[in-house]
Structure 1
Amino acid sequence: MQLFTRSSLLVVALWLSVPMGAKAQDVAAGQKIFNACRACHQIGDHALNSIGPVLTGVVGRKAGTFPDYHYSDANKNSGIVWDEPTLMEYLRNPQVKVPGTKMMFPGLKKDEDIVNVIGYLKTQVVP
C-alpha cells in the first residue's frame, strides 16, 4: 500500500509542476478596460481617427499603417505587426516598446487587464 501512496504522490507532484495554460481572455472585462483608451481611440464599424488611430482590426495590422492617420516616425518604422505578444509589451509601456511613439499613455499595469483588452481588440475586426 505504501508503494501506491508514493506513486500517487509522484503523479500529483508531476501534475502540479506542469505549467497551466494562460488564463482565458475576458472580452467583457476587456471592453470595460478599453474605455480608458476611448479618450484617444475609436473602435468599431464607423470609427474615425482621433487623437490616436482607429483600433478596429489592429490585431494583425502592421504598425503605422491605418489610413489617414499621422503616425510618429518611430511607429511607422518600428517594423511591428500587432500580435498578442507585441501588444502585451506595448500596452504595458508604449514608450519602452516603441521609443519616440506619440502615444503618451502610461500603460496598463496588470497583465490580466492587458490580456483582457487584447481579447476585446481581437473581436473588433474590419467588416
Structure 2
Amino acid sequence: MLHPGHLETLRRARDLGDVLVVLLNSDDSVSRLKGPSRPVVGQQDRAALLMGLRDVDGVLVFDEDDPRTALDRLRPDIWVKGGDYTADLLPEAPLVRSWGGRVEVLSYLPGHSTTGIVDRITAGNVDAH
C-alpha cells in the first residue's frame, strides 16, 4: 500500500544519488515477514506502482527475507533504508560497506505506515489519518 511516507522516503533517496533502484520484497517474502494476510497488494502491482513514480528508475523484486543477495548483485554506491534505527543495526550494512558503499537511514514520516493503515481498515476506521 503506497502512502505518503513511502513517497517522501523515495524522494529523499533519489536526491542522494543519480539513479534509484528500489529493492522490493516478493509476495512470499512479505508473507513470511508480516504474516499470511500480507501483502495487501501483490508484487506485480507494487512494482508497477513504483515504476510509475518519477523518482524511481528501476525495481528489483527479491524473494529472500532480507536484501543482502540483491544488494550483492547491484552493489550500489549508496544503500538507503527508511526506518527508526541506526545503519549499524542493519544486517546488510557490513556487506554494503565491503565494496565502499555508504548506508543511509532516512527517518519515517510520522503517522504513515502500512501496518497502521491496515489496522485502521480492519477496525472499520477507514477515514482516520
When normalised by structure 1's length, the TM-score is 0.32
Instruction: Name the structure where strand makes up a greater proportion of residues.
Output: 2
Larger radius of gyration: 1
